[in-house]
Amino acid sequence: MTSSSSASSSSPAPKKDPWDLPDVSGLTVGVLGGTGDQGRGLAYRLARAGQAVIIGSRAAERAQQAADELGMGVEGADNAECARRSDIVIVAVPWDGHARTLEALREELRGKLVVDCVNPLGFDKKGAYAIRPEEGSAAQQAAALLPDSRVTAAFHHLSAVLLADPETEKIDTDVMVLGEVREDCAIVQALAGRIPGMRGIFAGRLRNAHQIESLVANLVSVNRRYKVHAGIRLTDM
């Protein structure tokens, strides 16, 4: 449960069936930034799939209010308590507050499986564009700030509109999961697979997170041009 840097568990040519994923139904999922659109939408989908979910926010009351609105047993807490009580902690805070939030939670996140889903983007008159963090990506920034956590990256390309829409039964998309440790990625893949329509797919190490995070800028262009809420599917699998 401590560092995630063991090389043996991330061999490039595994013999295991890559679709053989663990049972994660008993794990509690915290969502930092769970009152924002993306975090709230993910909390909703995971709770609807039967997962125990705690919404975290800077202010416990706001988290509690969002949790009450979602129902389904979702709880609310301040970010520190949310992190402490969760097995898996999804980071869905705005990019602006990413480093600050994680630095402040280093102790609470020790040993936890952290799932960064932050997309560092800028917007101007020409639309969205990628911001490149000094560390290479938001996920790599998280890994640098949380050396004792098990940092992965996933859930970047989900439409907040579709996540929140109760009429949408299935969200037809793949969730690309990145990380250094096979077992940690497998847990996140299994978690994604709990949501109807989604598959969790291992898609590389954290050093290849930047393009996954910033692909959202392209989806913004697609959505504008075609009036859709585009997601990503990988083909031939």
Q: Residues interacting with a copy of itself, by CB under 8 A?
A: 12-14, 18, 126-130, 132, 159, 162, 172-173, 176, 178, 201-205, 207-208, 210-212, 214-215, 217-222, 224-226, 228-237
Kindly state the tokens that stand for 8: 């043996």
Q: Minimum distance between the CB of residue 123 and a copy of itself, rounded to whole angstroms?
A: 11
- d(CA 153, CA 171) in angstroms, rounded, equals 19
Q: Minimum distance between the CB of residue 45 and a copy of itself, rounded to whole angstroms?
A: 16
Nearer to a copy of itself, 106 or 182 (CB): 182
Nearer to a copy of itself, 59 or 234 (CB): 234
- d(CA 72, CA 218) in angstroms, rounded, equals 34
Q: Minimum distance between the CB of residue 100 and a copy of itself, rounded to whole angstroms?
A: 25
- d(CA 130, CA 217) in angstroms, rounded, equals 6
SS3 category, 89? strand
- d(CA 219, CA 120) in angstroms, rounded, equals 14
Kindly state the tokens that stand for 156: 């970047």
Nearer to a copy of itself, 96 or 172 (CB): 172
Q: How far is CA 96 from the centre of its chain?
A: 17
Nearer to a copy of itself, 129 or 196 (CB): 129
Q: Minimum distance between the CB of residue 209 and a copy of itself, rounded to whole angstroms?
A: 9
Amino acid code (one letter) for 151: V
Q: Minimum distance between the CB of residue 39 and a copy of itself, rounded to whole angstroms?
A: 21
Nearer to a copy of itself, 3 or 25 (CB): 3
- d(CA 117, CA 191) in angstroms, rounded, equals 14
